Amino acid sequence: MEKKTVKIDEDDILLRIYISEEDKLHGIPLYEAIVAKAREAGLAGATVVRGILGFGADRRMLSAKIVDLSNNLPIIIEIVDIERNIEGLIPFLDEHVKEGFMTLEKVHVIKYRTGGTDAGH
């Protein structure tokens, strides 16, 4: 029996959090703490992206070039879920993000899930 793929269309919210690789919370990278909090809160998922080049409000360039040897690269955390779940994470971010910013966007999401078996129905 072949597993059936289900396509799900829905409208969600994309939360992008822009912080620095150096940002910490109780000695661990802030991006790890944010992802752990999102997982604990039951959000659908999170992805952390390490930037290779960027600058922030202080206008200082951050680069992943070997000659720069920067340990303070830009970090972007992306989380997509329903609005209510995203809103539940905002107080944690308000408390712990000291430098950075976030964006919220309405997005249309198409999910593909492999479900049960297709028995010819």
Tell me the torsion sign for CA atoms 15, 18, 21, 23: negative
Q: What is the pLDDT of residue 60?
A: 67
Each domain of the chain, given as residue ranges in start order, spans 17-115
Render pLDDT for 4-53 as a digit per residue (tens, 0 to 9): 999 999 999 999 999 999 999 999 999 999 999 999 999 999 999 998 87
Residue 120 has pLDDT above 90, yes or no: no
> What whole-number distance in Å separates Cα of residue 110 and Cα of residue 119?
25
For 31, which DSSP code? Answer: H
Residue 108 has pLDDT above 60, yes or no: yes
Domain 17-115, second-level architecture? 2-Layer Sandwich (3.30)
Structure-block tokens of residue 3: 């597993």
Higher pLDDT, 94 or 63: 94
Q: Which residue carries 């999910």 as its tokens?
A: 111
Q: What is the pLDDT of residue 121?
A: 38
Residue type present at position 79: I
Q: What is the pTM of this model?
A: 0.82
Residues 79, 90 contacting (CB under 8 angstroms) = no
How far is Cα of residue 51 from the mean position of the Cα atoms in its chain? Answer: 13
Higher pLDDT, 7 or 56: 7
Residue type present at position 102: M
Q: Which residue carries 């998922």 as its tokens?
A: 45
Residues 85, 44 contacting (CB under 8 angstroms) = yes
Q: What is the pLDDT of residue 73?
A: 85
